[in-house]
Amino acid sequence: MSSLNLHWCSLRLFPLVLPLVSCENRPATSPISKMKCSNEGIGRHFNRYGPQAQMNVHLKGRDLLTLQNYTADELKYLLWMAADLKQRIKCKGEYLPLMQGKSLAMIFEKRSTRTRLSAETGTSEHWHSQILYEMAYCEVLSSMTNAILARVHKHNDLHLMKKQATIPIINGLSDLHHPLQILADYLTLQEHYGGLNGLTITWIGDGNNVLHSIMTSAAKLGIHLRIATPKGFEPDLKITKITEQFSSEYGTKLLLTTDPLEAADGANVLVTDTWISMGQEEEKKERLKAFQGYQITMQTAKSAASNWTFLHCLPRKPEEVDDEVFYSPRSLVFQEAENRKWTIMVRKEDSSS
């Protein structure tokens, strides 16, 4: 294995350090105080997709680098399984040794809280072990573990790892895609609305990796998409063309604009993300100027549908969404964060079993 190839599996390991967070200033109506386990809403959409046995889905050994090459049935199956696991383990207290004797290798080139925490808790409870590597050959990881979860700077690194590894590669985040986040978003919306078909998602913010994962999957689930980004911060052109093809194929509506209020019109879901991703700190001044007027507020939501909700993958900054929206009953952000655990669990299980 050449030194060049070694680089792709020799990624820096960041320690998991959780910052101390004060809840003293959190409003009494904060959604975190309303989170509870309930059978209502969890699983009521299953019949719409049909029972698991009737789905022609085979995911054993499949990588998850992007949602682009996953079919509608495969996406629905993953969400079906994630909701089922959540109901059985969290709500019913069942013990499911899903992957007893299996191991997951986790590589973090970029620091992580929710991805790493969800992977570690989901793995430790229902897998045999999780192993974090600072340096490793992909071939070696393939011989000793059952899957690799990697959080990397460049998406192409995942493709290079895929060529070297003989076990599934799961994208924990790259510069182009963040598929695990969007599966959690979809699970959250299914729980809240009872289904996804016919919903309208509005994205207001940067044309980044999170948006790309929505764009390459929404139409397959019958979701209409409205996107507002400032000039110069549009989504990737190739991904935009793929999204247009999917929208035409599945009969969904697609809007790309620079006007946040136009994008919010009729939206069931308002979504944003950080304006300054890791590695873009030097662009902070330029980006804050470019994104003026893109903060999501109650004024933004005035033209949205009457049942609108709000999502943000966290961490959130006040310039992206104000406190009134972020801590309102409309905000599903903490439920969304928890669902990272259930979607990552089902993806690991299906990749290896």
The residues annotated as belonging to the active site are 313
> Which of 300, 299, 274, 270 has the alpha carbon at shortest distance from 287?
274
What's the CA gap between 193 and 21, in Å, rounded? Answer: 30
User: What 3-state DSSP class applies to 316?
Assistant: coil
In contact, 242 and 216? CB cutoff 8 Å: yes
CB count, 10 Å around CB of 315? 11
Which tokens belong to 221? 């689930």
> Which of 118, 183, 182, 106 has the alpha carbon at shortest distance from 151?
106
What's the CA gap between 44 and 48, in Å, rounded? Answer: 8
Torsion angle in degrees (nearest 10) through CA of 272, 275, 279, 284: -170
Alpha-helical runs (H) found in 265-329:
284-290, 298-301, 323-326
> Which of 325, 330, 206 has the alpha carbon at shortest distance from 273?
206
Handedness of CA 168, 172, 177, 179 (dihedral sign): positive
Q: Which residues pair with 108 in a beta bridge?
A: 151
Q: What is the DSSP string of 109-162?
A: SS--SHHHHHHHHHHHHHEEEEEE-SS--HHHHHHH-SEEEEE-S-HHHHHHHH
What's the CA gap between 184 and 217, in Å, rounded? Answer: 13
User: Which letter does DSSP use for residue 35 in this model?
Assistant: -
Tell me whether residue 344 is exposed, middle or buried, using C-beta atoms within 10 angstroms of its C-beta: 0 to 12, 13 to 18, 19 or more.
buried
